[in-house]
Amino acid sequence: MSLLKLPDELLAQIARYFVHTLRDYSTVLDATISGDDYSTAFDDENAAAGRRSLLAVSRANRRLNAIATPFLYHTVHITNLASLYLLLRTFLESESAEWVQEAAMSAGLSLTKQAYKESETEATRLLLDTLRSNANASRTYRRVSQSYPVVQKIIDATVGFENGDLSGFPAAACTVLLLMTTNVTTLYLVIAPYNRAGSLHTSSSTSPF
C-alpha cells in the first residue's frame, strides 16, 4: 500500500512519532550545565534521526511537505547566537513561527565554543541582510515588536549601519523571536549556567537575558 493513499490525519500521526519534545530531554536539561555543555545537550542521535526523517518526508512532495513541516518546528533548541539568528530569519520569511510549541534556550548564548564564532558571524550577516532587503520581513518584525519601542530602536540602529554596535542586538532579536512564537506552551530557559567547577558564569553583554 502506498503511503500517499493514507489520509492526511493518519500521515500526521506518523509524522508526530518522529518529534522529540522537551520531555524527552528532561534528564539532561535538569542537570546543572554550563553554556558550553548546553550547546551539546540536544546531540541525541534518535532526535537527529527523527529530524532527518521529517525533513526527507517534507521534501517528497507538496502534500507531505504541508503535513510534515509543522512537526519540524514543533520543538526548537536555541543553543547559540547562530541558531537564534537563523531561526529568526526563517520566521521572518515564512509563517513557521506559529508551528513552534516548545522552545529551549540558554542565557549563555554568547558563551559558546570558539568553533561557533564563524557561523555566528555568517548568521548575523544573513539576518541583517534579510531585514535590510526583504520588505515583508521588515514589516513583520516591526508589527511584532510595535509594543516594544526599545527593541525596534536597537534593531533599526543595527540594520542602519554596516558596522554598527551589536551589543544590544542579541537581546532584541531574542525578544522578537519569542514574540513571534505565539503558540509556545513550554519554554525552557537555562538562566544561570554554571561551569564544571560549580561557579556562576559571568554574564556577557551579548547575552539575550
Q: Rounded to two decimals, what is the model's pTM?
A: 0.77
pLDDT, greater one: 203 or 3: 3
CA distance 138 to 7: 38
Residue 34 pLDDT: 46
pLDDT, greater one: 188 or 200: 188
Residue 3 pLDDT: 76
Residue 76 pLDDT: 87
pLDDT digits over 116-170, tens only? Answer: 677 888 899 999 999 999 999 999 999 999 889 999 999 988 888 776 677 788 8
pLDDT digits over 20-73, tens only? Answer: 776 665 555 554 444 445 555 555 566 677 778 888 888 888 998 999 899 989
Inter-CA distances, 49 with 55, 64, 74, 154, Å:
10, 18, 15, 38
CA distance 200 to 204: 12
Q: What are phi and psi of 194, to 5 degrees?
A: -110, 155
Q: 100 pLDDT exceeds 60?
A: yes
- For 79-133, strand residue ranges (E) read 102-106
- The mean-pLDDT minimum among 76-85, 113-122, 164-173 falls in 113-122
DSSP-derived secondary structure for 128-162:
HHHHHH-HHHHHHHHHHTTT-HHHHHHHHHHHH-T
Residue 190 pLDDT: 66
